[in-house]
């Protein structure tokens, strides 16, 4: 099966996950480039679309879309990708490195709402959605500290323990 990872990342955490995923799957990878990349615009749902992709999604059996969830929102670059290329998507796997943990995924700012929105848009083309909460790299006592979560950055030296185990299980499940 031919696969590709498309990703959007503002702070680098989702780019880290995307690169790890592409390496494990031995597949192509491409960054989604918004026409205007302004954080405030995403929060007020102002969307200028994305730039044309280099790789055509219809050339791939499996598409892995990796990107953040900000304040419980399905951000514009990711939504633009799905809407623009929906007819070319055979199957999509969504992965996010986000600030919300599993225990709060359906609260106001949780990633669960975004997972539901993607399912509503894609229907049966969506294979699965998975979260790699950034808090998993923090000590237990810092995981609910919003400031610590927002400042956390994935890198080789902290891609261990729980987040690595979750990533490895994900790879095992999709292969």
CATH label of the domain that carries residue 133: 3.40.50.360
* 17-21, 37-41, 130-134: least confidently modelled range: 37-41
Report the 10 Å Cβ neighbour count for 144: 13
Of residues 50 and 39, which shows the higher confidence score? 50
**Considering its fold, how many domains does the chain have in total?**
1
- The token pair at 7 is 């990703």
pTM for this prediction: 0.93
Q: pLDDT at residue 147 above 90?
A: yes
pLDDT of 37 reads: 64
Residues near 71 by Cβ (< 8 Å), separated by ≥ 6? 43, 109
Q: pLDDT at residue 47 above 70?
A: no
**CA 138 to chain centroid:** 19
Domain that holds residue 51: 3-174
Angle between helix 13-25 and helix 161-174 axes, rounded to 10 deg: 40
């Amino acid at each position: 099966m031919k696969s590709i990872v498309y990703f959007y990342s503002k702070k680098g955490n989702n780019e880290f996950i995307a690169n790890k995923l592409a390496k494990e799957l031995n597949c192509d990878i491409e960054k989604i480039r918004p026409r205007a990349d302004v954080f405030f615009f995403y929060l007020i749902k102002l969307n200028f679309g994305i730039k044309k992709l280099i790789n055509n999604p219809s050339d791939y059996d499996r598409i892995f879309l990796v990107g953040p969830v900000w304040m419980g929102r399905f951000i514009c670059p990711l939504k633009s990708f799905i809407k623009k290329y929906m007819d070319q998507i055979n199957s999509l796997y969504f992965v996010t490195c986000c600030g919300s943990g599993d225990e709060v995924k359906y609260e106001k700012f949780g990633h669960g709402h975004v997972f539901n929105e993607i399912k509503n848009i894609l229907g049966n083309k969506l294979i699965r959605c998975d979260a790699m909460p950034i808090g998993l790299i923090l000590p237990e006592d810092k995981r609910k500290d919003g400031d610590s979560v927002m400042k956390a950055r994935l890198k080789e030296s902290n891609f261990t323990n729980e987040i690595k185990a979750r990533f490895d299980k994900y790879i095992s499940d999709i292969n």
